[in-house]
Amino acid sequence: MKKMKLVLVGNGMAGVRTIEELLKLAPDLYDITVFGAEPHGNYNRILLSPVLAGEMTLPEIMLNDLDWYRDNGITLHAGRKVVKIDRVRRKVLAGDGSEADYDRLLLATGSTPFIPPIPGNELPGVLGYRDIADTEAMIEAAGKYRHAVVIGAGLLGLEAANGLMLRGMDVTVVHLGEWIMERQLDKAAADMLQASLEAKGMKFLLARQTEALLPARNAQGDMAERVGAVRFKDGMEIPADLVVVAAGIRPNYALAESAGLYCGGGRVRGIHVSDTLQTVTDPRIYAVGECVAHRGVAYGLVAPLFEQGKVCANHLANFGIGRYEGSVTSTKLKVTGIDVFSAGDFGGGPGTEEIVLHDKQGGVYKRVVLKDDRIVGSVLYGDTADGSWYFQLMKDRQSVAEIRDHLMFGQNRLGDAGHKGENRAASMPDTAEVCGCNGVCKGTIVKAIKEQGLFTLDEVKKHTKAASSCGSCTGLVEQILASTVGGAYQAVSANDKPVCACTEHSHKVVREAIFKHHLTSKEAVFDTLNWKTPNGCDKCRPAVNYYLISSWPHEAKDDPQSRFINERAHANIQKDGTYSVVPRMWGGLTTPSELRAIADAAEKYQVPTVKVTGGQRIDLLGVKKEDLPAIWADLNAAGMVSGHAYGKSIRTVKTCVGAEHCRFGTQLAMDMGVKLEKMLFDMYAPHKVKLAVSGCPRNCAEAGIKDVGVIGVDSGYELYVGGNGGIKTEVAQFLCKVGSDEEVMEYAGAFLQLYREEGWYLERTVHWLNRVGLDYVKSQVVEDGDNRRRLHARLLDALKDARDPWQTSREGAAVKQFIPIQVEA
């Protein structure tokens, strides 16, 4: 079949990103031709500021060099500007006379700096700030001249001013507004930002209107052919050898308009496109990027353009799914050492409330604007670590009523281990360790983002390994990414994040599909949901396997090859490839004969380390895999079974001695703990599950940091849920109070079953609770008695034929996996 012809006009970030997305989906559908007015490949425009500041060089910011076009069979006409679109003959014509036919046309003509109509704006030395040529002209001027004036104190203007200042110029920023960055910041944050820029040497003239740009005079007093000064309406004049105008951008739609494509009128101008990124006039013609007006909005930041590109590519590939419904944007200033973040509507107004935290001396300002218990905007200065969190809450329209009292202290307010509680990404030195698990410093992350052209958190994780182990530094890594790429960073909402690279679908969609379509095998899931890989990967297969067996117990067959090795081998793999063995001790109780059997096994199998665990068990570390079946047989013979210390499953129920022995005890904590642990034996869950039972409020079993914590009081038990003592210490929240042991079993069981049925794989109870809200869980488990009993019954049914996995694994064919095949040398 003859390939269709696709022509891209505009070789910038939006257009080329669309082509990249298209090549991923349909690599062979089109013959692709690209026209670009600039004589380069595609470069990362947002990193022009670091180039200007001397922090990076041009080769470092190339995203697609000329080889990329060649390798992908794309014809590139660099340095050729398209001047005409002939929609009847379906061809485009460039200024040098070259032509190209198209079946589909993609316009990504970008924008141009807006130069206000003031006298003198045509003088040499007056520049917009848009491309490599502008940047080079600014660098050249900085080498020759002294005085620079930047008109416009928006994002781009301040970045330009900062760059010129770092190149040694004396820079004055002139602004029409009362305060700088007034579209992104409120006055309080802007004042703080201005003060810190002034401390670096930048000068400001606010609320000034420029009247004229005046030519310089040469030694003879004649007018020279270059700008020399700026005059304001109030008569003031300042010297200016270079004037950078950063007073906004205008979409480039003249080419489209001349071809008869509707480009609007009045305030919103730009190539008008529908939610499929097709021009409203001609469905063969698509448009993305800054040249576009979508639902009355023209975007000037990179993140929305990438979202547009993704949808556009999907339609170009004839998939026909996905709609672009507009973007919520956030802003970060890329000035080294300064942390500013803003998002949404922070202007306030009727019906809004605001929460402000302002430490002027400490240099921290945070303002969150709420409407109907939801975040509608935020401005952060100084401490911006929670910018992504606020942004995500805003995008997801999640109610913050329950967390309002600690909202301002951020997501990671407590016990966030591994990076010394650092929360100012931009002001951290390059040598500071960000990821304590993998020893990754800030400088390494910044370098990878810049050199490899990374835009997403996942890419950063893959390339640097930062935030890829325990994840406690994720917020910090996100901040570093955001401050390095600025507007190109878009926080992805966990709700619609794909499970992995094998699929577009989120955990939510996969879970629901398995239930709705009664899917009972991974093949059926991959088939129904159009998985991109034949048998998934190490991320999605365990998740899908869990969803199958938890949705359809006794019906869906467990697939051992979709489980992580620990759950396949029923032991924990160690760094040297040996395993650890933890026999179950119900409620943390043991007997002399069990201890004797453990001691015998440890000696017989030459176990190098014997350790007591945090969950009141004994761990035998350093067992060879081929010895596992035999050591289990010995422990089974002494009446012990698997302790599941290796699984996304019930781990332990920790207990205090309770009223059995303790003089303060009010309830039989050990007895209660044993009963709970027996009920939950062999229960798999989205993640590990730990319980504790304390016999009185002194809480010696530490029930406050368990997934389910039970605290005995004189009149019954208090139940707490969603605690966590790991990466991030989370205190369990009070669920309800009950009177009897039977009720503890029913409520705890129902809570865990709800988590098992609705939690996403690898989501601990606390994360699930944060996502769905404690109120929802109470409504299902506490307030609705019938539902609670049904949940509890489903749990008991799922576990009705639970068997000791040690015993089943050492019998029959299953034992083969443990035995190496010996061959002669």
Partner 1 sequence: MTDWKRICPLDDIPRLGSRVVRRPGAEDIAIFRNADDEVFALHDKCPHKGGPLSQGIVHGRKVTCPLHGWNIGLEDGHAVAPDEGRCGRFEVKVEGGEVWLGV
Q: Report how far residue 18's alpha carbon sits from residue 290's, in angstroms, rounded to the nearest whole number.
A: 13
Query: Could you tell me which stretch among 164-172, 335-343, 477-485, 817-825 binds partner 1 (CB under 8 A)?
Result: 817-825
- Residue 530 or 591: the one with the smaller Cβ distance to partner 1 is 530
Q: What's the closest the beta carbon of residue 437 comes to partner 1, in angstroms?
A: 10
Q: Are 706 and 654 in contact (CB under 8 A)?
A: yes
Question: Does the annotation place 537 within a ligand binding site?
Answer: no
Q: What's the closest the beta carbon of residue 449 comes to partner 1, in angstroms?
A: 13
Question: Does the annotation place 736 within a ligand binding site?
Answer: no
Q: Report how far residue 330's alpha carbon sits from residue 504's, in angstroms, rounded to the nearest whole number.
A: 24
Calculate the alpha carbon distances from 512 to 10, 221, 351 in Å.
41, 79, 36
Task: Check residue 817 for interaction with partner 1 (CB under 8 A).
Answer: yes
User: Which two three-digit tokens encode residue 173?
Assistant: 């920023």
Q: Of 536, 588, 704, 709, which one interacts with partner 1 (CB under 8 A)?
A: 536
Query: Could you tell me which stretch among 503-511, 559-567, 640-648, 766-774 binds partner 1 (CB under 8 A)?
Result: 559-567
Name 743's Cβ contacts closer than 8 Å, sequence gap at least 6: 716, 717
Q: Of 133, 223, 236, 565, which one interacts with partner 1 (CB under 8 A)?
A: 565
Residue of 717, 754, 714 whose CA lies nearest to 736: 717
Q: What's the closest the beta carbon of residue 440 comes to partner 1, in angstroms?
A: 13
- Residue 121 or 452: the one with the smaller Cβ distance to partner 1 is 452
Query: Could you tell me which stretch among 44-52, 191-199, 639-647, 815-823 binds partner 1 (CB under 8 A)?
Result: 815-823
- Residue 167 or 463: the one with the smaller Cβ distance to partner 1 is 463
Q: What's the closest the beta carbon of residue 813 comes to partner 1, in angstroms?
A: 9
Task: Check residue 538 for interaction with partner 1 (CB under 8 A).
Answer: yes
- CA quadruple 47, 52, 56, 62: dihedral sign: positive
Question: Does the annotation place 696 within a ligand binding site?
Answer: yes
Count interface residues toward partner 1 (CB under 8 A): 32
Q: What's the closest the beta carbon of residue 328 comes to partner 1, in angstroms?
A: 31
Task: Check residue 350 for interaction with partner 1 (CB under 8 A).
Answer: no
Q: How far is CA 706 from the centre of its chain?
A: 27
User: How many angstroms separate the first and last alpha carbons of the chain?
Assistant: 55
Could you say which residues in the range 428-467 bind partner 1, by CB under 8 A? Answer: 452, 462-463
Q: What's the closest the beta carbon of residue 72 comes to partner 1, in angstroms?
A: 17
Q: How far is CA 622 from the centre of its chain?
A: 37
Task: Check residue 501 for interaction with partner 1 (CB under 8 A).
Answer: no
Q: What's the closest the beta carbon of residue 521 comes to partner 1, in angstroms?
A: 13
Q: Of 265, 577, 592, 812, which one interacts with partner 1 (CB under 8 A)?
A: 577
- Residue 1 or 813: the one with the smaller Cβ distance to partner 1 is 813
Task: Check residue 67 for interaction with partner 1 (CB under 8 A).
Answer: no
Q: Report how far residue 505's alpha carbon sits from residue 510's, in angstroms, rounded to the nearest whole number.
A: 7
Largest Cα–Cα distance in the chain? Answer: 107
User: Which two three-digit tokens encode residue 432?
Assistant: 């500071």
Query: Could you tell me which stretch among 284-292, 537-545, 601-609, 704-712 binds partner 1 (CB under 8 A)?
Result: 537-545
- Residue 431 or 822: the one with the smaller Cβ distance to partner 1 is 822
Q: Report how far residue 305's alpha carbon sits from residue 285's, in angstroms, rounded to the nearest whole number.
A: 17
Q: Are 102 and 84 in contact (CB under 8 A)?
A: no
- Residue 533 or 808: the one with the smaller Cβ distance to partner 1 is 533
Query: Could you tell me which stretch among 11-19, 354-362, 485-493, 816-824 binds partner 1 (CB under 8 A)?
Result: 816-824
Calculate the alpha carbon distances from 152 to 135, 177, 191, 347, 418 in Å.
17, 9, 16, 20, 41
- CA quadruple 523, 525, 527, 530: dihedral sign: negative
Task: Check residue 778 for interaction with partner 1 (CB under 8 A).
Answer: no
Task: Check residue 564 for interaction with partner 1 (CB under 8 A).
Answer: yes
Task: Check residue 569 for interaction with partner 1 (CB under 8 A).
Answer: yes
Half-sphere exposure (Cβ direction) of 645: Cα atoms closer than 13 Å: 24
Question: Does the annotation place 473 within a ligand binding site?
Answer: no
Name 109's Cβ contacts closer than 8 Å, sequence gap at least 6: 9, 10, 251, 252, 253, 255, 256, 271, 289, 291
Task: Check residue 266 for interaction with partner 1 (CB under 8 A).
Answer: no
Query: Could you tell me which stretch among 49-57, 233-241, 333-341, 564-572 binds partner 1 (CB under 8 A)?
Result: 564-572
Query: Could you tell me which stretch among 90-98, 202-210, 253-261, 568-576 binds partner 1 (CB under 8 A)?
Result: 568-576
Indicate left, alpha or beta for 575 from its phi (over 0: left) and psi (-120 to 50: alpha): alpha
- Residue 349 or 577: the one with the smaller Cβ distance to partner 1 is 577
Task: Check residue 541 for interaction with partner 1 (CB under 8 A).
Answer: yes
Residue of 692, 719, 698, 823 whose CA lies nearest to 777: 719
Residue of 414, 338, 343 whose CA lies nearest to 382: 338
Query: Could you tell me which stretch among 49-57, 134-142, 344-352, 563-571 binds partner 1 (CB under 8 A)?
Result: 563-571
Name 315's Cβ contacts closer than 8 Å, sequence gap at least 6: 276, 277, 278, 286, 322
Q: Are 141 and 148 in contact (CB under 8 A)?
A: yes
Residue type, position 363, single letter: G
Task: Check residue 812 for interaction with partner 1 (CB under 8 A).
Answer: no
Question: Kind and range of the H or E element at 808?
Answer: helix 805-809
Q: What's the closest the beta carbon of residue 807 comes to partner 1, in angstroms?
A: 20
Query: Could you tell me which stretch among 61-69, 397-405, 538-546, 693-701 binds partner 1 (CB under 8 A)?
Result: 538-546
- Residue 81 or 462: the one with the smaller Cβ distance to partner 1 is 462
Calculate the alpha carbon distances from 680 to 671, 676, 683, 685 in Å.
14, 6, 5, 11
- Residue 599 or 819: the one with the smaller Cβ distance to partner 1 is 819
Q: What's the closest the beta carbon of residue 27 comes to partner 1, in angstroms?
A: 18
Q: Of 72, 535, 591, 609, which one interacts with partner 1 (CB under 8 A)?
A: 535
Q: Of 64, 384, 562, 616, which one interacts with partner 1 (CB under 8 A)?
A: 562
Q: What's the closest the beta carbon of residue 573 comes to partner 1, in angstroms?
A: 5
Query: Could you tell me which stretch among 285-293, 554-562, 774-782, 804-812 binds partner 1 (CB under 8 A)?
Result: 554-562
Q: Which residues pair with 369 in a beta bridge?
A: 354, 377
Residue of 576, 581, 577, 567 whose CA lies nearest to 619: 581
Q: What's the closest the beta carbon of residue 561 comes to partner 1, in angstroms?
A: 4
Residue type, position 34, single letter: V
Q: Report how far residue 792's alpha carbon sits from residue 787's, in angstroms, rounded to the nearest whole number.
A: 9
Q: Which residues pair with 370 in a beta bridge?
A: 353, 375
Q: What's the closest the beta carbon of residue 606 comes to partner 1, in angstroms?
A: 18
Q: Report how far residue 354's alpha carbon sits from residue 360's, in angstroms, rounded to the nearest whole number.
A: 18
Calculate the alpha carbon distances from 428 to 381, 442, 710 in Å.
15, 8, 42
Site string for partner 1, 465-484 (x = CB under 8 A): ---xx---------------
Q: Of 265, 266, 350, 534, which one interacts with partner 1 (CB under 8 A)?
A: 534
Q: Report how far residue 173's alpha carbon sits from residue 193's, in angstroms, rounded to the nearest whole number.
A: 13
Q: Are 536 and 499 in contact (CB under 8 A)?
A: no
Q: What's the closest the beta carbon of residue 543 comes to partner 1, in angstroms?
A: 12
Residues annotated within a binding site for [4Fe-4S] cluster: 656, 662, 696, 700
Residues annotated within a binding site for siroheme: 700
Residues that bind partner 1 (CB under 8 A): 452, 462-463, 468-469, 533-538, 541-542, 560-562, 564-566, 568-569, 573, 575, 577, 816-817, 820-825
Residues annotated within a binding site: 656, 662, 696, 700
